[in-house]
Amino acid sequence: MATTYFSKRNLQFLLHEVFKAEELTKYDYFSAHDRDTFNLVLDSATYIADTLMHPYLKEVDKNQPELKNGQVTVHPKIKEYLKAMGDAGLIGAGFSFDHGGQQLPEMISSCVGFILMAANNGMMYTGLTSGAAHLITSFGTPELSEAFVPNMLAGTWQGTMALTEPQAGSSLSDVTTSATPQPDGTYKIKGQKVFISAGDHDAAENIIHLMLARIDGAPKGTKGISLFVVPKYRKDEQGESTAPADRPGNFVDNDVVSTGVYHKMGQKGVPAMHLTMGSNDNTVGYIVGQPHQGLPYMFQMMNEARIGVGMTAAAIATAAYYAALQYAKERPQSRRLNEKNHLYAPQTSIINHPDVRRMLLFQKSVTEGSLSLLIEAARLYDISEVAEGEEKENAFLLLDILMPVAKSYPSEMGVQSVSQSVQTFGGYGYTEDFPVEQLYRDIRITPIYEGTTGIQAQDLLGRKMTMKGGKAPQLLFSEMSKTIAEASTHDDLKPYADKLAAELKRTQDVVMSLMPHAQKGDIERYLSDATLFLELFSIVVIAWQWLKQATVAKQILITQNPQGDDLAFYEGKIHTMKFYFHYEVPKTLGLAVRLKDPEVLTIVSEKELAL
C-alpha cells in the first residue's frame, strides 16, 4: 500500500517488547500459540485491511446505506470483506477451539481490530458479530451456540447489540421492549430499538440481534431485564420458507422491521438502524441464560466492547496522524523562523516549523499512548480470563479501573488529535482531497459509543475508585510504582519518574478531597465534576504508559545498540515521552485546582439557573 495508516513497527514494539505477548502462552489456554502465530494473524489482518478495506475508505463513506422497500443495501465490498474475515478465521480469532475459534488472546484479536479500523472504520461489522456471538457462547446453551455461532464466525450472518431504545439511551434500566413466554420455551418480542449498528443489511444472509427485553411481570429497573437472541430470519422446519432464496435451510421472516436508517455525520459505511419488533405479533426471541440476568451478562462483556471502542478511536486517530505526518514532510511552506534570508531561501517543509512539530508530537503522544494503554488492558483481560486465584482477581480489578480511561481517553483525545491532523493540512485538511476530514467525522462518535464519557467518569469515580475498599486504585498505584522504580534506574528518565510519582500524589489528594461528599451520601456533589476527574486520572495513566514505553526503549538502546531507523524509533519514543510530560501532564494542575475547589456551580438549586 502506498499510504501508511498504522505503524507495524510500533505494534511490534508494544506487543512484544513492552508487553511481551508471548508470555501469555505459558497459560494452558493459549499454549498452542507463539510469537509467530500471533504475527501471522496480524499479517493476515493487514492483508485484508490493505486489499479489501483501505482502498475503499472514501467510497464506503460516499455511498452510505439506504433503506428501500424494507431492505438496507450497503457497499458491495462489505460482503467480500465479511467473507474474507470469516475465511481467515478472524471473526472467531478470540473464540475457543471448541467454538470454532483460534483461541487467541484479546491482546492479539484487539490488535486485529486496531489494524482493520485504521484501514477503514466505516467497515465496522465484524467486531459487532464477534461481540454478539461471544454473548451466546458465554451464557447461552450449547444448542443456541450451535444454531447461531458457526454462521456468525463464518461471516455469513451478522451479529448486533440491540440495547438502546428511543426513551432509554444511557439508562438501560428503562428498557421497555417486552418478552412474552410461549409454551415452547421461546418468547414473543415486542418493542423498538434505535441506533442498532449493522442492524440490517444485504451483505449478510441473516442478522442476529442480541437484544435486551423485559419478560412480562419482571421486576422494575435493572433487575428485570433479560437477554435474547432475536434473528431477522428464524429457522422453522414446519413453516413455509419466506426468507430470500440465498438462505440455506427453512427460514421464515421473524417480524423484525427496519423502520428507519439514521443518516450520520461519520462511520457512514455501517447502517445505524431503527428496528421494530412484533408489529405482526410474530417476533420470536430465544432467551440467553437465565431470566432477568440480561444486564449482568451485558456488563460482563462490557470491558471487551469498550476495548473495542477504544481501539477504534485509537485506530482512526492513528490513520489521521500518519496522513498528517506524510503531508508535513512533503508540503513546503514559508521559511524557518530563524532564516535570515527570507527573500531567497527556498520554502521549507512544514514539519520544520515548531508549531507543526508540536501538533505532530501531540498526535503521536495521544495515539501511541492510547494504543499502549489498550494493549495493557487487553493483556489484563486475558490474564483475568485464564489465570487463577489472586492473579486472576488482581488482573480483573486492574482492568476494571483502567477501562473508563481505555475507553474514553482514546476517544476524547482522539477527537482532538484528529482535529490537529486536520489543522496540520490547513485548508486542504477541510477538503475531501485528503482523508482527514472523514476521519474527523468518523471519530466523533467514539466518546458516545458504549457509555458516553460522562458515564465512564461516573463509573470510575462512583464505582471503580471505591469498590472493594479501594483495592483497584491501590493495585494500579502499585503497578505505577513499579514502573517508576524501573525508570528511576536511568539518569535521564529519573526526572520523569519523579514527576509521575508527584502526579500520583496529586491524584490521591484530589480523591481525598472528594471522598467526604461520598461518605455523606451526597453522590450528586461527589460526582458533579467526575468527567474532570476522569480527565486528570487519564493524563496520569497515559503518563505511566509513556514512562513504561520509554523505559523499555532505553533498555533496548543500552543493551542492543540499535542503528539507523531502529535507533531513531527508540529515541523517538523517549522524545515523545518527554513531550507528553512537558506538554500534557501540566494540565493536571488546573484540573486538580478545580476538583478541590469547594464552589459548586453545576447542581440545580431551588432557584433555577437561567440557562
- Residues with a catalytic annotation lie at 450
Q: In angstroms, how far apart are the furthest CA atoms of the chain? A: 88
Burial class (CB in 10 A: 0-12, 13-18, 19+), 437: buried
493 binds a second copy (CB under 8 A): no
Report which residue type is found at 431. Answer: T
Candidate ranges 96-104, 109-117, 165-173, 369-377; the one touching a second copy (CB under 8 A) = 165-173
Candidate ranges 88-96, 478-486, 540-548, 576-584; the one touching a second copy (CB under 8 A) = 576-584
Residues 408-427 that bind a second copy (CB under 8 A): 415, 419, 422-423, 426-427
Q: In this chain, which of 191, 271, 278, 429 binds a second copy, going by CB under 8 A?
A: 429
Q: In this chain, which of 296, 430, 481, 490 binds a second copy, going by CB under 8 A?
A: 430
Beta strand spans in 450-532 (E): none
Q: Are 75 and 61 in contact (CB under 8 A)?
A: no
CA dihedral sign of residues 570, 574, 575, 577: positive
Q: What is the DSSP string of 192-212?
A: EEEEEET-S-TTSSEEEEEEE
Residues 185-224 that bind a second copy (CB under 8 A): 194-195, 220-221
Q: Which is nearer to a second copy, 89 or 562 (CB)?
A: 562
Residues 57-116 that bind a second copy (CB under 8 A): none
174 binds a second copy (CB under 8 A): yes
Q: Beta strand pairing status for 206-215 and 157-162?
A: parallel
Residues 381-400 that bind a second copy (CB under 8 A): none
Q: Least distance (Å) from a second copy to the CB of residue 531?
A: 6
Q: Which is nearer to a second copy, 26 or 68 (CB)?
A: 68
Q: Are 408 and 457 in contact (CB under 8 A)?
A: yes
Q: Which is nearer to a second copy, 334 or 508 (CB)?
A: 334
Q: Least distance (Å) from a second copy to the CB of residue 175?
A: 13
**Ramachandran assignment for 267, one of left (phi > 0), alpha (psi -120 to 50 degrees), beta (any other):** left
Q: In this chain, which of 531, 538, 545, 551 binds a second copy, going by CB under 8 A?
A: 531
Q: In this chain, which of 120, 529, 542, 546 binds a second copy, going by CB under 8 A?
A: 529
Q: Least distance (Å) from a second copy to the CB of residue 571?
A: 6
List the grid coordinates of 387: 489465570
Candidate ranges 16-24, 48-56, 310-318, 600-608; the one touching a second copy (CB under 8 A) = 600-608
Q: Are 96 and 104 in contact (CB under 8 A)?
A: no
**Ramachandran assignment for 89, one of left (phi > 0), alpha (psi -120 to 50 degrees), beta (any other):** left
Q: Least distance (Å) from a second copy to the CB of residue 501?
A: 17
Quick one: CA torsion of 313, 316, 319, 320, rounded to 10 degrees?
-100
The interface mask with a second copy, positions 435-464, x = CB under 8 A, is: --x--xx--xx-xx---xxx--xx------
Q: In this chain, which of 164, 372, 408, 545 binds a second copy, going by CB under 8 A?
A: 164
Say how many CA atoms lie within 13 Å of 410 toward its Cβ. 31
143 binds a second copy (CB under 8 A): no
Report which residue type is found at 369. Answer: G
d(CA 180, CA 2): 55
Residues 6+ positions from 369 with CB-CB distance below 8 Å = 409, 542, 545, 546, 580
Residues 320-379 that bind a second copy (CB under 8 A): 325, 332-334, 336-338, 342-344, 347, 351-358, 360-361, 364
The interface mask with a second copy, positions 219-248, x = CB under 8 A, is: -xx---------------------------
Query: What is the CA 559 to chain-centroid distance, rounded?
Result: 35
Q: Least distance (Å) from a second copy to the CB of residue 513?
A: 15
Backbone dihedral angles phi then psi of residue 36, each to the nearest 5 degrees: -65, -45
Q: Least distance (Å) from a second copy to the CB of residue 545?
A: 18
Q: Which is nearer to a second copy, 174 or 393 (CB)?
A: 174
Q: Least distance (Å) from a second copy to the CB of residue 308?
A: 17
Q: Least distance (Å) from a second copy to the CB of residue 442?
A: 10
d(CA 350, CA 337): 11
491 binds a second copy (CB under 8 A): no
d(CA 283, CA 261): 20
Quick one: CA torsion of 548, 551, 553, 554, rounded to 10 degrees?
170
Residues 257-316 that bind a second copy (CB under 8 A): 262-266, 272
DSSP 8-state code for residue 426: G
Q: In this chain, which of 20, 482, 494, 587 binds a second copy, going by CB under 8 A?
A: 587
579 binds a second copy (CB under 8 A): yes
